[in-house]
Amino acid sequence: MNAPAYNFAYLNEQTKRMIRRAILKAIAVPGYQVPFASREMPMPYGWGTGGVQVTAAVLTPEDTLKVIDQGADDTTNAVSIRKFFVKTAGVATTERTEEASVIQTRHRIPEAPLTEEQILVFQVPIPEPLRFLEPRETETRTMHALEEYGVMHVKLYEDIAQYGEIATTYAYPAKVADRYVFDPSPIPKFDNPKLDNCPALQLFGAGREKRIYAVPPYTKVKSLDFEDHPFEVQSWSEPCALCGSCHSFLDEIVMDDKGTRMFVCSDSDFCARQRGER
């Protein structure tokens, strides 16, 4: 007899139910970090085991999965996670944002607008935004409970005092539904506005830290700032060298050993579409 080596999407049904319960709780309390019993996954922690467990718990056989890392579908991390789900769940995969029903991501939100039919799953290394100033877990929990978020502005104050502007460019803290301050994972702050009022369900999984949190569809997400130093996204002085887009997040790429540089879209699917290749 050739019994399948794994249950659908690797995790057993009991584990998936446990994770789904955590997800439901996270959706019910937007931005709140729900503890869950994170499982060992057949990959190292730095590889997004939290996101992988969330994806495994929400995936159905009918889903089409897209996996990106730094915006690209072809990086090692993205390729191995995609392969993992092809092998364990047999789901269809795609590189096209609008074809995907589940998108697992590290570091980016796709440029193409998301829809109500989609779930975006983020891989999160450090879920606790208060940790920078308060290492004690019992204390950060109380601070969240009592909405004591003054220290978040201490960090932004330090930025302005040191650099003349808010220099935080990744993992930029935001407040969800006027209540919980959260860390939107290491996405560039360029992507923060996409979190706000997004039609898709956004789920965040931190494997090592055993936390799941969520931004339900159409939820207000407000990036923290000062009245006289309002939140701003990154901008570039030149368009994408490949597709000419002026509205996407650009990566700087070194072209040769003479140090020639070029700016191109980090979202490779978006860039290809702009160039009419897809």
Binding positions for other proteins, rule: CB under 8 A: 133, 142, 146, 148, 150-151, 153-155, 157-158, 160-162, 225-229
Which tokens belong to 85?
């789900």
Question: Do the beta carbons of residue 54 and residue 124 sit within 8 Å?
Answer: no
Closest distance of CB 65 from Zn ion, Å = 24
Known active-site residue 198:
no
| Distance separating the N- and C-terminal Cα atoms of the chain | 43
What is the CA angle 55-137-50, rounded to 5?
10
90 as an active site residue: the answer is no
Figure out which of the listed residues 84, 129, 240, 269 binds Zn ion, where binding follows CB under 5 A.
Answer: 240
Residue 76 three-state SS: helix
- Closest CA relative to residue 191, chosen from 66, 106, 254: 106
- Give how many residues touch Zn ion by CB under 5 A: 6
* b/e code 248-258 from CB counts within 10 Å (16+ = b): bbbbeeeeeee
Q: Which does 271 bind (CB under 5 to 8 A by kind): Zn ion, other proteins, none?
A: Zn ion
Of residues 48, 50, 198, 271, which has the active-site annotation?
271
In this complex, which beta carbon is closest to Zn ion, that of residue 167 or of residue 246?
246
Residues 6+ apart with CB under 8 A from 77: 47, 48, 69, 106
Smallest separation, CB 141 to other proteins (Å): 12
Q: Is 242 in the site for Zn ion (CB under 5 A)?
A: yes
Determine which residue in the list 109, 265, 268, 273 makes contact with Zn ion, applying CB under 5 A: 265
Least CB distance to other proteins at residue 128 (A): 16
- Nearer residue to other proteins within complex by CB, 18 or 160: 160
Minimum CB distance to Zn ion, residue 252 (Å): 13
Residue 146 interface partner, choices other proteins, Zn ion, none, CB cut-off 5-8 Å depending on type: other proteins
Closest C-alpha among 115, 51, 109 to residue 85: 51
Residues in the chain, total: 278
- Our answer to whether residue 271 is catalytic in this structure is yes
Decide if 243 is catalytic: yes
> From other proteins, Zn ion, none, which one binds at residue 227 (CB under 5 to 8 Å depending on kind)?
other proteins
Integer angstrom CA distances of residue 96 from 100, 136, 202, 206: 7, 42, 18, 25
Judged by beta carbon, residue 42 or residue 135, the one nearer other proteins is 135
Tell me which stretch binds Zn ion (CB under 5 A): 118-126, 182-190, 221-229, 242-250. Answer: 242-250
Cβ atoms within 10 A of the Cβ of 184, count?
28
Do the Cβ atoms of 149 and 174 come closer than 8 Å?
no
Shortest distance in whole angstroms from residue 245 CB to Zn ion: 5
Residue given tokens 């606790």 in the structure block? 128
Active site residue 164: no
Query: Which positions touch Zn ion (CB under 5 A)?
Result: 240, 242-243, 245, 265, 271
Residues designated as active site: 31, 240, 243, 265, 271
